[in-house]
Amino acid sequence: MFSIRFRKLASDFRHGDAVVPVGPSWSRSSKSHSLAPIASGDIVLGAFKESFESPLLYWQEMEYERHWATALSQLLSGDSKTALVTAMYDPKTATFLRWWTMYREGQSVFVQNQLLFLDQLSRPFEVTAIGEFVKPRNTVSEDGVKISEWNVSLDEIGAFCRDEKKK
């Protein structure tokens, strides 16, 4: 099974360590120390489910969802790698973004959760060319530690995309 989506349930209001269920989600921004809106979501990769929080300062939920649909479509159309951004910031001022890299090998897709450090890129980041920024797949870190990854089928991703289009 594969899915990535925002939760449409009651959200959290975050202030310091306190979490109070109320309307839109907010998170403490490290730059301004003010409250910043977030959306909570989940990615499902087979039996594995991981929650994530996406800041809503640079992109809104619709931009994330549009990006995910485009990236998955490119993978289904034959691209060998892509990524699903779950924490997007202004690439001109941000130091990193959070994403799930996806590597297509035949009918299998291997997925890894990573940070992309924007200051380590040889050119400015462009989400429209996201596959060009995904490094080749590694299964062991520089320190010799196995990198966590999950395997889903291309058919599972296709089924998710078809279901999302019906909505």
Per-domain residue ranges of the chain = 2-166
Could you tell me if 96 and 118 are in contact, meaning their C-beta atoms sit under 8 angstroms apart?
yes
Residue carrying the six token digits 């920024």: 133
Q: What is the CB-side half-sphere exposure of residue 29 using CA atoms within 13 A?
A: 14
Q: How does pLDDT run across 141-166, given as a tens digit for each residue?
A: 999 999 999 999 999 999 999 999 88
Q: How confident is the model at residue 100 (pLDDT cuts 50, 70, 90)?
A: very high
2-166 belongs to CATH 3.40.50.880: no
Helices (H), the chain: 61-76, 154-166
Q: What pTM was computed for the model?
A: 0.85
